[in-house]
């Protein structure tokens, strides 16, 4: 899950072999968090991991996983076993070999009871590793997981600096100053300054990156990054909000990237009055996606109607239209609510229908929440928006069911396994709607995740959409777009029109000299 799309950025200058590239990032001044496992909401840590800490697999050009550190990664026993090999010549930046001991150490960290993010660790619980050599091993899973190759994109940690002690990594992994651990990726971290994070070329990485030094320039606002770009001091910037887009200098080159993430309005089906399906359906009928985008995220999103992002084209083609607004009064009447003058609120027994909307404090989600509340309020359903810290939002408000409605963003990538979100049998084991698992929906979700042909995939998805439309655990709002901006002198190889932002970092690896 994600609770907002951070302003992760990337670009390249096609100059000399010892080129220094400076990337702008809107983020608090440092020293910055550096571990994407321990601080997954930090855009700085995410960027550092993308450039220096690959997983066994990595996002490919279409968002689907491809080989990363592993030289092979294959499914066995129907997806309940996954075997991998590591290249014998693979080296950390300090010269130490990359082995299955590092993979085992990473697994031990994720399975530690002290690991701070249960949602990130959930897909790894119950998994064991059989290492047949220093360079080959097999993950033994509790059950079939056809999308485990995507799960394996998490960074592999070096075992040696922490002496095979997960508790030591959990205590030192957020250390913002050196000595920094060795890197397996194309760059290695060399400085974490108040306004910059500096990575230099890893001498043991092949193929050799063209860029010698990658500088992440931290700025307090989008206006500050735009000013640096106008002055030629920032070469590239990936924008995630409309306010950032409005601040771009006119000369910047722009490219839109439709993501695999999505934003939804989630209902707590265990919380009155949303325990009534008619009320959930009425709220869904009042949502005007196009107006919502125009008010809150203009130029940065496309309407979405189903549980898969519209960047998956065949899924967008089979999703249903929005129910007519004229059905709202009838739906609410079936739940005992009537619209009363002179204010025009819906009431039952003298009590108005009032709802609370929880949202993490990551833009642009608060702006979207306010626009959504205005839509519902104008139709006679007042909504109070309550903002929470992003770092605790998933485990506190969502995980404990302490919400009525929640505005959340998910980044499931292009994978079709969304069973964990709606009471299915997914590895996350979470039903974020707080409702009982439905056997028909669970079966359809499992079929969707394992379908191998397009016709069977579409058939399973139609059932999923129909069941979710009936139960209405959530309203799917939009698929975010990112805008990559760079100077005319910057080179951006293979910028995808649709894809995973992490692919932008992969491009830096592929641009070699």
Predicted confidence at residue 421, as pLDDT, reads 72
**53-87 pLDDT tens trace:** 999 998 776 667 889 999 999 999 988 999 999 99
Does residue 8 surpass a pLDDT of 60? no
All structural domains of the chain, each given as residue ranges with its CATH number in brackets, are 1-53+185-252+487-513 (3.40.190), 261-481 (3.10.105.10)
Contact by Cβ (8 Å): 369, 385: yes
% of the chain with per-residue pLDDT over 90: 47
Partner residues linked to 237 by β-bridges: 485
Please tell me whether the peptide bond between 273 and the residue prior to it is cis, using omega within 30 degrees of 0.
yes
Range 462-491 average pLDDT: 85
pLDDT tens-digit readout, 181-223? 999 999 999 999 999 999 999 999 988 888 889 999 999 999 9
Is a pLDDT exceeding 80 seen at residue 11? no
Confidence band of 325 (pLDDT split at 50, 70, 90): low
Mean pLDDT for 257-269 is 90
**Tens of pLDDT, residues 83-133:** 999 999 999 999 999 999 999 999 999 999 999 988 889 899 999 999 999
Inform me whether the pLDDT recorded for 225 exceeds 90: yes
**Is this model's pTM higher than 0.75 or not?**
yes
pLDDT at 377: 95
What pLDDT, on the 0 to 100 scale, is given for residue 501?
62
- Model confidence at 323, pLDDT cuts 50, 70, 90, reads low
CB 109 within 8 Å of CB 157: yes
Instruction: Give the mean pLDDT of the chain.
Output: 84
Q: Check whether 33 has a pLDDT greater than 90.
A: no
Contact 399, 3 (CB under 8 A): no
Q: Is the pLDDT of residue 34 over 60?
A: yes
Question: Which pLDDT score, from 0 to 100, does residue 427 have?
Answer: 35
Q: What's the rounded mean pLDDT across residues 473-492? A: 83
Buried b (16+ CB within 10 A) or exposed e, 240-256: bbbbbbebbeeebbeee
Q: To the nearest 10°, the Cα dihedral for 126, 132, 137, 139?
A: -20
Give which of 46, 70, 147, 150 is closest to 501, Cα–Cα: 46
Angle between helices 289-296 and 365-378 (to 10 degrees): 130
Tell me the C-alpha distance between 311 and 479, whole Å. Answer: 7
pLDDT at 423: 53
Residues 4 and 365 sit within 8 Å (Cβ to Cβ): yes
Say if residue 9's pLDDT is above 50: no
């Amino acid at each position: 899950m994600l609770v907002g799309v951070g302003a992760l950025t990337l670009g390249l200058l096609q100059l000399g072999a010892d080129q220094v590239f400076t990337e702008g990032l809107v983020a608090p001044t440092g020293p910055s968090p550096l571990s994407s496992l321990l601080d997954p909401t930090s855009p700085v840590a995410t960027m550092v991991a993308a450039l220096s800490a690959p997983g066994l697999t990595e996002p490919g050009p279409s968002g689907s996983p491809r080989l990363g550190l592993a030289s092979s990664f294959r499914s066995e026993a129907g997806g309940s076993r996954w075997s991998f090999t590591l290249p014998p010549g693979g080296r950390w930046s300090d010269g130490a070999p990359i082995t299955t001991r590092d993979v085992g150490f990473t697994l031990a960290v994720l399975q530690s009871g002290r690991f701070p993010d249960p949602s990130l660790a959930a897909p790894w619980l119950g998994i064991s590793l059989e290492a047949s050599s220093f360079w080959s091993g097999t993950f033994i899973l509790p059950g079939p997981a056809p999308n485990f190759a995507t799960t394996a994109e998490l960074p592999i940690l070096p075992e040696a600096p922490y002496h095979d002690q997960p508790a030591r990594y959990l205590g030192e992994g957020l250390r913002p100053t050196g000595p920094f651990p060795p890197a397996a990726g194309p760059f290695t971290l060399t400085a974490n300054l108040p306004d910059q994070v500096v990575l230099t070329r890893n001498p043991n990485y092949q193929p050799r990156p063209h860029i010698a030094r990658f500088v992440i320039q931290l700025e307090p606002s989008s206006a500050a990054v735009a000013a640096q770009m106008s002055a030629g001091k920032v070469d590239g910037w990936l924008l995630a909000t409309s306010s950032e887009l409005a601040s771009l200098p006119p000369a910047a080159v722009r490219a839109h990237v439709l993501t695999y993430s999505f934003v939804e309005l989630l209902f707590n089906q265990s919380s009155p009055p949303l325990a009534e399906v008619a009320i959930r359906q009425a709220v869904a009928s009042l949502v005007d996606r196009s107006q919502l985008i125009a008010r809150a995220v203009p130029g940065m999103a496309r309407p979405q109607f189903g549980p898969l992002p519209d960047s998956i084209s065949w899924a967008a083609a089979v999703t249903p239209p929005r129910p007519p607004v004229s059905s709202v009064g009838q739906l609410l009447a079936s739940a005992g609510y009537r619209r009363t003058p002179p204010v025009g609120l819906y009431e039952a027994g003298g009590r108005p229908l009032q709802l609370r909307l929880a949202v993490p404090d990551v833009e642009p989600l608060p702006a979207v929440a306010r626009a959504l509340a205005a839509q519902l309020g104008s139709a006679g359903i007042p909504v109070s928006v309550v903002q929470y810290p992003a770092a605790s939002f998933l485990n506190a408000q969502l995980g404990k069911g302490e919400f009525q409605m929640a505005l959340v963003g998910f980044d499931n990538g292009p994978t079709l396994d969304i069973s964990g979100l709606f009471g299915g049998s997914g590895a996350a084991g979470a039903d974020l709607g707080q409702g009982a698992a439905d056997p028909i929906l669970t079966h359809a979700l499992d079929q969707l995740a394992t379908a191998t042909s397009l016709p069977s995939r579409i058939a399973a998805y139609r059932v999923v959409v129909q069941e979710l439309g009936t139960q209405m655990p959530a309203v799917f709002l939009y698929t975010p777009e990112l805008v990559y901006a760079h100077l005319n002198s910057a080179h951006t190889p293979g910028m995808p029109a649709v894809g995973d932002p992490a692919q932008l970092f992969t491009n830096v690896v592929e641009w070699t000299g």
